[in-house]
Amino acid sequence: MTKTSKPKDTVMVICAHPDDEIIGAGGTIARYSKEGKRVIAVIFSYGENSHWWLKRRCTVEMRVKESRAAGEVVGTYKTIFLGLKDFELKEEIKKKKNLAMLERVIAKYDPSKILTHSPDDVIYADHKAVWESVEKVTSRMKYKGDIYTFNIWAKDVRFTRNPKLFIDISDTFSLKWAALKCFKSQHMYIFQLYPGILWRALKSGFEHKCRFAEVFTKVN
């Protein structure tokens, strides 16, 4: 980068497991990437407990490979794994070193916008733990950007009246769909979510007067 060039606007997607970034914001990642923004995905765990019968190393390699392949489809600039323990994020975020690691990543890339799990996504404890860590770290570091949330498993309750960010993904929904197919090891799980993902994109698109859209809730 030359002295006169302007650094790219950075958007950070922070989530619990590989595939959450695509389920929650895949179309938006692709849209932002096409617009020239730098999208960084920060994933707390490797999702290694999804295949408990395999050796951890094998599962980690498989899930990292799938996530990076999906990132290439939607144009993710960089995918960062924090390496915290899957299914144990509630305990993991109690460790100061882990919160410090997240803080360093946010400070390094200085995103103008963070997209992360909703605090209302209480069905999955790992998702709620990610929200709690993002809230704690950004408050501590006096983060000046915008924080938006997406909900994978539940409905927004406490922030229903908060401002919403609608992203038209009519031109990138096919990329989101293709990226989801990269998670072959999670096919049975993601397959169950396909109808909901399609319906949500159509419903949000109708509300936004376009074909497909993703919607996020502003929380700060």
Confidence (pLDDT) at 52 = 64
Domains along the sequence of the chain with CATH: 10-218 (3.40.50.10320)
Confidence (pLDDT) at 100 = 98
Q: How many other CB atoms sit within 10 Å of the CB of residue 157?
A: 11
* pTM of the complete model beyond 0.85: yes
Q: Which residues of the chain have pLDDT under 70?
A: 1-7, 51-54
DSSP state letters, 162-182: S-EEEEE-TTTHHHHHHHHTT
Sign, CA torsion 181/63/190/185: positive
Confidence (pLDDT) at 50 = 74
Confidence (pLDDT) at 142 = 97
Could you report the per-residue pLDDT of 121-154, keeping only the tens digit for each? 878 899 999 999 999 999 999 999 999 999 987 7
Is 173 in contact with 205 (CB distance < 8 Å)?
A: no
CA–chain centroid gap for 60, Å, is: 18
